[in-house]
């Protein structure tokens, strides 16, 4: 067996999501933001939703507020219509992403635009530094064809939502998302059976890998650990991550962000630095200032 490389990334801990319900009764799996893993700075929540049963998603997420952070919705199957109280509206389709900076606040709805079929995707919450929490709301929304695809090695295809990686020909592929506060990496990697890929994570970022199809070995040598479908691996150690797909291949969400290291005061859809700011968010929302 090859010796462990001194700068290799290893799995620090594995976390399994828990069944949860949110919005008007949408069934989902909460992977970050529950008791087992309340947060992973700067990430506050990761929900996976995936069901063929319309009764699990039809009620959707009617009007609700957000303040102080970003919500990132990445669709795999199904269509979701969003509308906010500032007149913004859009339709998320399979393979598309909406990176919403709630900033000082908005009220929006996220409702399925289908009455049958499969609804599947992820929502990630990314914190904002105190200086940006009261910024103007902003949307970065990209249709599937605007998300670049890289093939770093044979048998590996990576959709680059945020961050960058080197393609096989040495060309750097950049995701369309711009967020200097946390410089996020957000990759959707599909590995064919038995194929391996090494990726250098941004230095100093917190990172996780969430396997959502098949299974994969993460890390090198004696430290490699098997990660099953629906398991999240918190990554640590060095920056060079090796992923090797199992016999059925693997599909992995690989996410990293620069930690903010600021106090977090959160309740429901409001995430601020102090309790006083949190109370102010409730007052502002109730008085219609979102
Ligand atoms: Mn929302």
Beta strands in 181-269 (DSSP E): 185-191, 196-200, 206-218, 225-227, 231-237, 240-257, 265-267
- Give me ligand 1 centre to Cα 106, in Å: 9
**Structural domains in the chain, sorted by start:** 10-272 (2.60.120.10)
Q: Which region, left, alpha or beta, applies to residue 204 given φ > 0 means left and ψ of -120 to 50 means alpha?
A: left
pLDDT for 162-180, tens place per residue?
999 999 999 999 999 999 9
Question: Ligand 1: distance of its center to the CA of 253 in Å?
Answer: 21
How far away, in angstroms, is 146 Cα from ligand 1 center? 23
What backbone torsions phi and psi does residue 103 show, to the nearest 5 degrees? 55, -135
Question: What span, in angstroms and rounded, lies between the C-alpha atoms of 56 and 61?
Answer: 12
5-9, 85-89, 97-101, 145-149: least confident range? 5-9
pLDDT in tens, 120-163: 999 999 999 999 999 999 999 999 999 999 999 999 999 999 99
């Amino acid at each position: 067996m090859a010796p462990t490389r001194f700068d290799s990334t290893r799995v620090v801990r594995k976390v399994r999501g828990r069944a949860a319900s949110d919005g008007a009764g949408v069934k989902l799996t909460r992977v970050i933001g529950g008791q087992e893993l309340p947060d992973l700075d700067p990430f506050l929540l990761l929900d996976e939703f995936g069901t063929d049963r319309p009764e699990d998603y039809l009620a959707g997420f009617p009007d609700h507020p957000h303040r102080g952070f970003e919500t990132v919705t990445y669709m795999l199957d199904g269509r979701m219509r969003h509308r906010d109280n500032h007149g913004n509206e859009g339709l998320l389709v399979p393979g598309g992403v909406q990176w919403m900076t709630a900033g000082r606040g908005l009220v929006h709805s996220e409702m399925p635009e289908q009455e049958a079929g499969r609804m599947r995707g992820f929502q990630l919450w990314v914190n904002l530094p105190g200086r940006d929490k009261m910024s103007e709301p902003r949307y970065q929304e990209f249709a599937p064809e605007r998300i670049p695809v890289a093939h770093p090695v044979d048998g590996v295809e990576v959709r680059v939502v945020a961050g960058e990686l080197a393609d096989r020909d040495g060309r750097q592929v950049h995701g369309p998302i711009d967020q200097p506060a946390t410089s996020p990496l957000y990759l959707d990697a599909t590995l064919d059976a038995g194929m391996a890929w090494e990726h250098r994570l941004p230095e100093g970022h917190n990172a996780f890998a969430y396997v959502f199809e098949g299974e994969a070995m993460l890390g090198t040598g004696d430290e490699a650990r098997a990660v099953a479908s629906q398991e999240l691996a918190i990554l640590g150690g060095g920056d060079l991550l090796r992923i090797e797909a199992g016999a059925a291949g693997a599909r992995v969400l690989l996410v990293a962000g620069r930690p903010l290291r600021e106090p977090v005061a959160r309740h429901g859809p409001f995430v601020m630095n102090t309790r006083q700011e949190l109370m102010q968010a409730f007052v502002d929302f109730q008085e219609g200032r979102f």
